[in-house]
Structure 1
Amino acid sequence: NILSPENCDIEILDNGRTINDFIDNKIEELGSKDSEQPFYVANLDDMVKKHLRWLTTLPRVKPFYALKCNSSPAVLRTMIALGTGFDCASKGEIQLALSLGVAPDKIIYAHTTKARSHIKYARTHGVNMMTFDSEDELVKISFCHPTARLVLRIAVDDTCSVIRLSSKFGARLGTVNKLLGRARELDLDVIGVSFHAGSGCTESSAFKQAIADARHVFDIANKLGFQMTLLDIGGGFTGRNDFKVTFEEVSEVINGALDEYFPSDSEVEIIAEPGRYYVESSFTLAANIIAKRVILDDTEHSDIVENSRDRTMMYYLNDGLYGSLSPIVDEPSYYKFEPYCHRVNIDPVYQSIIWGPTCDSTDKLTDDYWLPELHVGDWLLIDNSGAYTVSLCTEYCEIKCCIYLTELCQPVPLNCVVYIGKAMYY
């Protein structure tokens, strides 16, 4: 029902149609309307398979989807249908989750630096579980939501992660006694511990040490009289199969550490905050080449130039760093920008410089990529583009979504894709 035609704009992929067929049809449709609008296609199959993989690989850990990673309505409705919880980091995200029917007790307000008005909104709407990592945050919560169920976020070793977070968030272990003592003075209820080992962790042993640190904090809290019942092992899990450390390798270490420090008879609930794990490989971006230049021997030429392999191509897309591709700058060692031609092209390849559409010269996507010669109006496809892309578009990007399913009668949707169109304004 959550993903039914009555609740979403759904088209069923039938008669053997594939996602590639759908992309072809969408490009033809845009062409008939004289439009070059870039768009995303999301394979909901991939999200469902990731969830089943999670349940099998990390059976004790309940996922709370990190809404900030990709808040497309189809994604959120899919996660609701799969029965996950939600990690929200702002009032707006809480509003969105609640508007889609998520129960307040399935939300963790997982941000350690919250605005007072946002805390009050959470209290008013029954969202009680939230994180903290400082005394000032405790004082703020005591005024705005004194009945909150608090989770102490600790800083852990994330030196082996592509994206590190502990320099900004998390209490050092040496401050835990003081923080918990202050929570006791303020008569606040601390129920658990959270941490984040960073996104793209390349050393799975970091999770074992983080879980051991959490056990240490549990012991301190229990001695102070707190009833500790929750461990949140954070997010940053990759859903890609080409990453240095696989999800299965990390999960094996996590499961072993949980059995050692939080055995199943400890009655501690284990949750996590996966975001990119679910959506990263599910999304493909289709962007249009809106302009082109040919450079030969530092001299600009038209398309009529002789077929020299020494020429450099400059292409301008209608999406870029100020659109949905900012992770290329923010996460260059993690996000692989590997565009490929919409149509198979076996022509000779040329060094290509690819720009975004804005007037900013830093809006460059790559300056050393090899592609067959393309022309204005051609399309490039970019896989693995579902994490922190759509959700980080600037204000001149307008997002709309349509959902495509095949078998609505099945327990979970199969062979599903989502179309997310983007109208860019400059």
Structure 2
Amino acid sequence: MGADPSRIIFANTVKPAWHINFAAKAGVATLTFDNEEELYKIQALYPSAKLVIRIRCDASSAQCVLGMKFGVEVDDAFSLLETARALGLDVVGVSFHVGSGCSDPPVFQRAIQAARGLFDAAKRIGFEFTLLDIGGGFPGNKDSSLDNIADVVNSALKEFFPVGCGVRVIAEPGRFYVASAYTLATLIHSKRRVKNKDGTFSFMYYINDGIYGSFNCLKYDHAVVTPIPLKRSKANKEPAIGTIWGPTCDGEDQVTGPLMLPELEIGDWFVFENMGAYTLPISCGFNGMPVPKVNAFADEKTLLELKNIRALNKEK
């Protein structure tokens, strides 16, 4: 997509050998690590790489906890740096990720402070760190705000990494950019009326997307989705208990419900907002169900810019 290799960080801390070889051939020199075995692997395959040590600092509340899989404990980080030094590797900075969808802003202060301590410790054994990667975790839904996290981050950087200290600060704000950029529209292709024990009726609505498509976020991103009827049906009936199901033959393919919904009909639509993060990239064609088609709505200037990006233009 035209990015210069010097501006890319290979942020997976555990990489297959052929991925490391590919990074070397592509000129992507900045790689993260969090364990001794990875250091030996990099020393054998890409000894000239610029390494970033990833430390663990988990938020008390996040949609997806990443520390259970990635990040060396802060107390063990210095010994890992000593190993890197003994192997002749060049470590240039520190990274962390507090967890995706973080709702614990103060964790950024703790992580940045821990990073500062590691910067100072690394200097004592000959490293000159110049990079701090504060990871992601930033909210991206329509009703969210970055202000609380930004206040904490800016205050901590001012205290521990002030302007002019020679440290470049980067972040990984994926969810922040894309979560609200996509809205999913789903068609009700089938409907089932179910008689309840009390004599009332509830409804099952079957739509053309489910947990094996865009709604995999329910399983893997712990998302909570809200169905919005695109319009009231002509029947204009009273609200009733409804459950929304995906299109596959799997009984676990339930999108949401039971919840109160206006009674809708086959051919009506549900809209789901904030569907841009951890949805389409993880979807599959289970049971032969196609993944949703993406339709872009943007001003003319933006569309023209997108057409000039080779990776997004199939005709090129």
Q: Give the TM-score, by structure 2 length.
A: 0.89
- 1:307-346 aligned at under 5 Å gives the runs 310-332=200-222, 335-345=223-233
Distance apart, 1:292 and its partner CA: 1.1
Distance apart, 1:236 and its partner CA: 1.3
In 2, are the aligned partners of 1:222 and 1:228 still within 8 Å (CA)? Answer: yes
Q: Partners of 2:248 and 2:303 in 1: how far apart?
A: 44
Distance apart, 1:406 and its partner CA: 2.4
Distance apart, 1:402 and its partner CA: 5.2
Q: Gaps (5+ residues) in structure 2? A: 307-316
Q: What SS does structure 2 have at the residue aligned with 1:408?
A: helix
Q: Partners of 2:257 and 2:92 in 1: how far apart?
A: 50
Larger relative contact order (Cα-Cα within 8 Å, sequence gap ≥ 6): 1
Structure-2 residue corresponding to 1:372: 262
In 1, are the aligned partners of 2:209 and 2:292 still within 8 Å (CA)? Answer: no
1:269 aligned onto 2:269: no
In 2, are the aligned partners of 1:289 and 1:318 still within 8 Å (CA)? Answer: yes
The residue type paired with residue 126 of structure 2 is G
1:283 aligned onto 2:182: yes
- 1:208-219 aligned at under 5 Å gives the runs 208-219=109-120
Distance apart, 1:347 and its partner CA: 3.4
Structure-2 residue corresponding to 1:359: 249
Distance apart, 1:339 and its partner CA: 1.0
1:202 aligned onto 2:90: no
- 1:27-38 aligned at under 5 Å gives the runs none
Q: Partners of 1:128 and 1:177 in 2: how far apart?
A: 22
Q: What SS does structure 1 have at the residue aligned with 2:108?
A: helix
Among residues 282, 299, 303, which one is paired with 1:406 in the alignment? 299
Distance apart, 1:400 and its partner CA: 5.5
Q: Partners of 2:184 and 2:29 in 1: how far apart?
A: 37
Identity across aligned pairs (percent)? 42
Q: How many residues align?
A: 301
Gap change, CA 1:377 and 1:241, over 3 Å in 2: closer
Q: Gaps (5+ residues) in structure 1? A: 1-99, 300-307, 414-426
Structure-2 residue corresponding to 1:4: none
Q: Partners of 2:278 and 2:221 in 1: how far apart?
A: 10
Distance apart, 1:373 and its partner CA: 1.4
In 2, are the aligned partners of 1:155 and 1:173 still within 8 Å (CA)? Answer: yes
Q: What SS does structure 2 have at the residue aligned with 1:171?
A: coil
The residue type paired with residue 248 of structure 1 is D
In 2, are the aligned partners of 1:158 and 1:166 still within 8 Å (CA)? Answer: no
Q: What SS does structure 2 have at the residue aligned with 1:265?
A: coil
1:167 aligned onto 2:68: yes
Structure-1 residue corresponding to 2:310: none
Structure-2 residue corresponding to 1:122: 23
Deviations 1:84-137 (A, max 9, x none): xxxxxxxxxxxxxxxx22211121111011111011001001011111000001
Q: Partners of 2:231 and 2:302 in 1: how far apart?
A: 34
Q: Partners of 2:238 and 2:57 in 1: how far apart?
A: 49
Q: Partners of 2:299 and 2:36 in 1: how far apart?
A: 51
Structure-1 residue corresponding to 2:78: 177
Distance apart, 1:157 and its partner CA: 3.1
Deviations 1:328-362 (A, max 9, x none): 23344xx2311111224553111101111111111
Where does structure 1 differ by over 3 angstroms across 4 or more consecutive aligned residues? 344-347, 395-405, 409-413
- 1:101-112 aligned at under 5 Å gives the runs 101-112=2-13
Structure-2 residue corresponding to 1:254: 153
1:148 aligned onto 2:49: yes
Q: Partners of 2:184 and 2:143 in 1: how far apart?
A: 19
In 2, are the aligned partners of 1:158 and 1:165 still within 8 Å (CA)? Answer: no
Q: Partners of 1:395 and 1:145 in 2: how far apart?
A: 37
Q: What CA RMSD, in Å, does the superposition of the two structures yield over aligned residues?
A: 2.2
